[in-house]
Amino acid sequence: MGLGENFQTTLDAARQAAPWAWSAIYEELASAVTGYLRANGVPDPDDVTAEVFLRVVQDLGKFEGDEPHFRSWVFVIAHHRMVDDRRRRIRHPQATLRLEMLEGRAHGNVEREAMDHLTTGTVQAIINRCAADQREVLLLRVIAGLTLAETAEVVGKSLGAVKALQRRGIAAIAREFSTEGVPF
């Protein structure tokens, strides 16, 4: 997280419900959380991101630690919300229809949205070649920007296991590229 020297002040202000503090926290982490969820195939990552930040608001009083621990804590919440979302969709499957599909047009900056989808699609295709646990580690490391220790905390594995999963995931991607070339 990039709040640096202002982290503790921002955190204290957020605990006192200061709108500027919540804006700073959200602006710093929301895009990384949404990217992590999107790369993990969550059908509505924006909705789950909102659930993540609702939980952050509810539980902020229980948080203790520095800025890296805070970032890791937010991604633990994101991981749990992602798992909950998957379970809910399995128990209650339904066809989803997005507003954009009904209107047949894009919203906002079309060029940026196209680049986001291209980048996300490319990353998703590459990462999908890995085993699920390798993919989880790589997404947390690359998209969320977590350290090895923070990633280990999120996935509930030892630091050595996370290092091994990362190494194997990168090796699997490298093998794909060397045998097939980049298919994009």
* Same domain as 91, residue 1: yes
pLDDT in tens, 78-129: 999 999 998 988 887 765 545 444 444 445 555 555 545 545 566 677 777 7
Last residue of a domain, one of 63, 96, 129: 96
- 41 and 86 part of one domain: yes
The 3-state secondary structure of the chain, one letter per residue: CCCHHHHHHHHHHHHCCCHHHHHHHHHHHHHHHHHHHHHCCCCCHHHHHHHHHHHHHHHHHHCCCCHHHHHHHHHHHHHHHHHHHHHHHHHCCCCCCCHHHHHCCCCCCHHHHHHHHHHHHHHHHHHCCCCHHHHHHHHHHHCCCCCHHHHHHHHCCCHHHHHHHHHHHHHHHHHHHHHHCCCC
Answer yes or no: do 41 and 113 share one domain. Answer: no
Tens digit of each residue's pLDDT (9 = 90 or more) over 4-33: 788 999 999 999 999 999 999 999 999 999
Q: What is the CATH number of the domain that holds 112?
A: 1.10.10.10
Name the average pLDDT for the chain: 82
Residues 130 and 170 in one domain: yes
Same domain, residue pair 161 and 72: no
Q: What is the CATH number of the domain that holds 24?
A: 1.10.1740.10
Asked if residue 147 belongs to a domain, the reply is: yes
Does 126 reside within a domain?
Answer: yes
Domain assignment of residue 131, yes or no: yes
